Chain A
Amino acid sequence: MTPTRKRRLYLFLSLFAGVSLAVAIAMYALQDNLLYFQSPSDVVSKQIASGEKFRLGGLVQRGTVKRDPQTLLASFDVTDGKQTIHVEYQGILPDLFAEGQGVIAHGRLTSDDHFVADDVLAKHDETYMAPEVADALERAGHPVKKKISDSEPPVTTTPDSSAG
């Protein structure tokens, strides 16, 4: 390589390294703001004040979904396996809302473990399965998330170990 080309190559590579470093530092500083949601453990450890708006994310604890037959009021527990927060929501739940499924609720705490949501989103995980496979897993004793609409009387099982 000629000296000019070598010089140019080093110039561009060091430029790239510099920009990467700057972005990495900025990202590190903004870490908390880049979190789209807080897990129940985060809520406890960060001591988020009641009334402050944030997004709560976790899995819907199996067997905790209750619906008021007269209104759109729904309540369920959101867990990350360590901490659990009770959520109340008035409105239409997304289609994929299910027990054991990930969920993100936007709203505020009314007490330490009580959360009122204005908005609920279902968080999809990265697993794609054919219905027959899901049925087979179910029969083999592995709990698979189920849509609320076609669920039998809720059975209480342990939540999935992975959070989201």
Chain B
Amino acid sequence: MTENPSIWQRCKVWFHRWGSPAWFYRTSGYIIPWLWGLCFILALPGLYLGLFVAPADYLQGDSYRIIYIHVPSAWMSMMIFALMAAFGLIGMVWRIRIAETMAICSAPIGAAFTLIALLTGSLWGKPTWGTYWQWDARMTSELVLLFLYIGVMALYQSIDEPRKAARSASLLALVGLVNLPIIHYSVQWWNTLHQGSTIKLDIGESSMDTSMLIPLLLVVAASKFYYAAVLLSRSRGLLLQQDQHKRWPQELWHANKADPT
């Protein structure tokens, strides 16, 4: 018990360091290559196994393979929204600038994943269901998620003062959080065209062959590292742009010129 406070203190200090743009810029620079590495190490075998090695489905044939893009994207579209709202809440309550930056930089990544989920779902829907689009609860709520992402980005762009803009956009993200349980439970609460979840996290076995499931889980894990890497890169860029006339970027530049390693 005597050790705990010091570890706690150290964690706290380490955590607070991330609040400094200079520290954030430098440290994330070291981490990003590792995140990309992990992303590729997981994504390449995942996609190869999924697209070439896994057996075809007994009913859908090869068209089911779009699941290796669709499901990771759909999950990421929701996870990123939740994280964006969490970063936003931290930014709004504690006024930590890095949290605001990360919330804003999450929006385009999440919107891209949402768009991919909608498009791949629509392409899969035509051969499977016989239609590209139907207004069922799952598809409609996912489309609303895309509009929420666009709303967050538009709100941020429409306010000149960046920190005020970030907090306003975060408020929209927080309110939009209501949509996430609706998307997730839509297939259970209402009759929908979209089927229920194949991979059950809470109860029961997943209704998928292991040989099909493993590549899917690899791609899902890879997508998390992709998000982390892109989020940190975008945040670095935004911080650098906003702080271009401040001292830390100039010091960084001079330090790099002196020691280019």
Contact = CB atoms under 8 A, between A and B. Distances in A.
A128 B64 contact: yes
B175 A131 contact: no
Q: How large is the interface on B (under 10, 10 to 19, 20 to 34, 35 or more residues)?
A: 35 or more
24 contacts: A8-B92, A12-B92, A12-B171, A12-B174, A15-B171, A16-B177, A23-B178, A27-B182, A34-B189, A36-B190, A37-B191, A94-B128, A94-B129, A94-B130, A95-B130, A96-B130, A123-B129, A124-B59, A124-B195, A128-B57, A130-B211, A131-B56, A147-B59, A164-B195
A111 B130 CA distance: 27
Given A36-B193, A127-B207, A5 B93 contact: yes
Contacts of A125: 195-196, 207
Given A121-B129, A122-B128, A16 B212 contact: no
Interface stretch (B27-35, B131-139, B220-228, B231-239): B131-139
- Identify whether the interface residues of A are mostly helix, strand, loop, or mixed: mixed
A97 B195 CA distance: 15
A130 B208 contact: no
Contacts of B135: 36
Interface residues of A, number: 46
B55 interface: yes
Contacts of B58: 129-131, 133-135, 144
Interface in B152-180: 171, 174-175, 177-178
B136 A130 contact: no
Interface string A38-66: 11000000000000000001000000000
Interface string A97-115: 1100100100000000000
A139 B57 CA distance: 18
A127 B208 contact: yes
Nearest to A13: B89
A19 B176 CA distance: 9
Nearest to B89: A12
B198 interface: yes
